[in-house]
Amino acid sequence: MILEIVTHPDKRLKGKSKEVEKFDEKLHTLLDNMFDTMNSREGIGLAGIQIGVPKRVFITYIQNGEDTEPTLTEFINPKILAESGVLSYEEGCLSIPSYFEKVDRAETINVSYQNRYGEEQNSTLHGLNAVAFQHELDHLNGKLFVERVSYMKRKKFEKEWKRRGREN
Ligand code: CO
């Protein structure tokens, strides 16, 4: 089911999401709805809070090779165990439509999380996979990528965003 996406400056995006404790059908429906919603907007990642559900869950949908289908990964109760390197990547966000800006993130991260059945997973993520994980993990902690750009760029963004709000 395709759901509405919560957009900036909605206060819900500023809250800290809660740990998932039950790996039941309700969680599976949430994950399925998140995928449908993300896919309808051609996104590569979506966090629960972006459809108004403050749980520590996000998904990524990333192509890892030119002729391959994108891979869907469901991350529940995700954590970063180690990180290295720096990668500057132009990010966007379905909660901040049509705004893109470069953000510095770790290039490689070791992560742990649970899958939809509650099974513990570990993996090492590089490049865009690492960037998307860090962007989405920020959502679970109430942080948007515009808070990670320089002060001047942030000011410019807020000004443009307010103007756009008045025009709509
Ligand atoms: Co986002």
Whole-number Å distance, alpha carbon 1 to ligand 1 midpoint, is 20
Whole-number Å distance, alpha carbon 144 to ligand 1 midpoint, is 7
How far apart are alpha carbons 70 and 63 in whole angstroms? 4
pLDDT of residue 127: 97
Structural domains of the chain in order of their starting residue, each with its CATH number:
11-167 (3.90.45.10)
Active site residues: 136
Q: In what order do the strands lie in the sheet with 57-62?
A: 45-47, 57-62, 71-84, 108-114, 120-126
pLDDT of residue 124: 98
Contact 132, 84 (CB under 8 A): no
pLDDT tens sequence across 13-50: 999 999 999 999 999 999 999 999 999 999 999 999 99
The reply to whether omega before 97 is within 30° of 0 (cis) is no
pLDDT of residue 168: 64
> Number of C-alpha atoms within 13 angstroms, CB side, residue 12?
14
Tokens describing residue 104: 């510095």
* Rounded mean pLDDT, 119-133: 98
Tokens describing residue 135: 């962007």
Task: State the chain's mean pLDDT as an integer.
Answer: 96
Whole-number Å distance, alpha carbon 91 to ligand 1 midpoint, is 8
* Rounded mean pLDDT, 120-148: 98
pLDDT of residue 15: 98
* Rounded mean pLDDT, 72-92: 98
Instruction: Inform me whether the pLDDT recorded for 142 exceeds 80.
Output: yes
Contact 122, 111 (CB under 8 A): yes
Tokens describing residue 94: 């379905």
pLDDT tens sequence across 89-113: 999 999 999 999 999 999 999 999 9
| Residues pairing with 79 in the sheet | 112
